[in-house]
Amino acid sequence: EGDTAEALDQIVEADAYLVGTPVYRGSYSGALKNLLDMIPRGEWQGDVAPFENAAVGLVATGATDHHFLAVDQELRPAFAFFGAHTVGG
């Protein structure tokens, strides 16, 4: 509903993606997790799979040098789940 529905519509219609998040306690934000939980996955949830075979740029900010691990251990696997090809980090 509301802003979330509008965000999902924009994700489905987009040609490319750049995802940015702060790192908190070694993971991406809860708001991003909430949004990812609503992204359709194609054959399992209708025929829409916006991230499948899409390039997704990843950007994260954190308070320490070790927060970069959240990109490789959390974000890349999350987008691999959707069939995306991730770059950056």
Note the pTM of the prediction, 2 decimals: 0.83
Which fold would CATH assign to domain 2-88? Rossmann fold (3.40.50)
The percentage of the chain sitting over the pLDDT mark of 90, rounded to a whole number, equals: 55
Q: Which helix (H) or strand (E) holds 88?
A: strand 85-88
Measured distance CA(26)–CA(72) in Å, rounded: 11
Sequence-separated (6 or more) residues with CB below 8 Å from residue 84: 17, 51, 52, 53, 54, 55, 56
Domain range summary for the chain, segments of one domain joined by +:
2-88
Rounded Cα gap, residues 3 and 17, in angstroms: 18
Tokens of 83: 């069939």
* pLDDT tens track for 33-61: 999 998 888 765 567 889 999 999 999 99
